[in-house]
Amino acid sequence: MAARLAQHGRANEVLVLDRYRFPRDKPCGGGLTGHVDDAMEELGLALDVPHISAHDARVRFAGFERSVTLGKPVNVIRREEFDTSLVAQVRGRGIEVVEGEGVVGYLDTGNGLVVTTSTGREIECDVLVGADGAASVVRKQLVGKSGEIPHRLFKLEMTVPAGSHQDQAMLYDFSLMARGLRGYSWVFPVPGNRYNVGLMHYPAADLRLGGKALTELLRIGMGDIGLEIPERGARGWPVWGYDPKKPVHRSRVLTVGDAAGIDGLTGEGIAIAMEQAVLAGDAIEHGLVTGDLSFSSYPRALRKSVVGRELNLDRRLAAMLYGGKRWRDWLSLILFDHDMLQFYAARVDGSE
pLDDT digit string (tens) for 13-38? 999 999 999 998 887 899 998 889 99
The answer to whether 81 and 24 are in contact (CB under 8 A) is no
CA dihedral 249, 250, 252, 255 (to 10 degrees): -20
pLDDT at res. 148: 78
Element containing residue 274 per DSSP (H, E): helix 270-290
pLDDT at res. 63: 87
| Orientation angle between helical segments 306-321 and 327-336, nearest 10 degrees | 120
Q: Is the pLDDT of residue 351 over 90?
A: no
**Where is pLDDT greater, at 325 or 204?**
325
* Residues contacting residue 190 through CB under 8 Å, at least 6 positions apart: 30, 52, 76, 77, 78, 157, 196
Q: Summarize the confidence of residues 151-163 as an average pLDDT.
A: 91
| Orientation angle between helical segments 338-349 and 306-321, nearest 10 degrees | 130
Q: Is the pLDDT of residue 352 over 80?
A: no
- Which phi and psi (to 5°) does residue 215 adopt? -65, -40
Q: Is the pLDDT of residue 204 over 80?
A: no
Q: Is the pLDDT of residue 235 over 90?
A: no
pLDDT at res. 10: 97
Least confident of 122-136, 162-176, 231-245: 231-245
Band (234; pLDDT cuts 50, 70, 90): confident
Q: Is 320 left (phi over 0), alpha (psi -120 to 50) or beta?
A: alpha
**Where is pLDDT greater, at 147 or 210?**
210
pLDDT at res. 49: 97
Q: Which of 6, 9, 26 is nearest to 257 (CA)?
A: 26
pLDDT at res. 323: 86
pLDDT at res. 259: 93
- How many whole angstroms separate alpha carbon 202 and alpha carbon 1? 28
Q: Summarize the confidence of residues 195-209 as an average pLDDT.
A: 85
pLDDT digit string (tens) for 248-269? 999 999 999 999 999 999 888 9
Burial class (CB in 10 A: 0-12, 13-18, 19+), 257: buried
The residues that bridge with 159 in the sheet, in sequence order, are 194
Q: Is the pLDDT of residue 295 over 80?
A: yes
Mean pLDDT of the chain: 92
* Residues contacting residue 215 through CB under 8 Å, at least 6 positions apart: 154, 232, 234, 236
Record the pTM. Answer: 0.93
CA dihedral 207, 311, 4, 94 (to 10 degrees): 20
Beta strands in the chain (DSSP E): 15-18, 31-32, 52-61, 64-76, 96-99, 103-108, 113-117, 122-125, 128-130, 151-159, 170-173, 183-190, 194-201, 235-239, 249-250, 253-255
Q: Summarize the confidence of residues 178-186 as an average pLDDT.
A: 95
Band (206; pLDDT cuts 50, 70, 90): low
Q: Report the relative pairing of strands 103-108 and 96-99 from DSSP bridges.
A: unpaired
Q: Which of 199, 194, 187 is nearest to 236 (CA)?
A: 199
Q: Which of 108, 135, 114, 126 is nearest to 19 (CA)?
A: 135
pLDDT at res. 205: 60
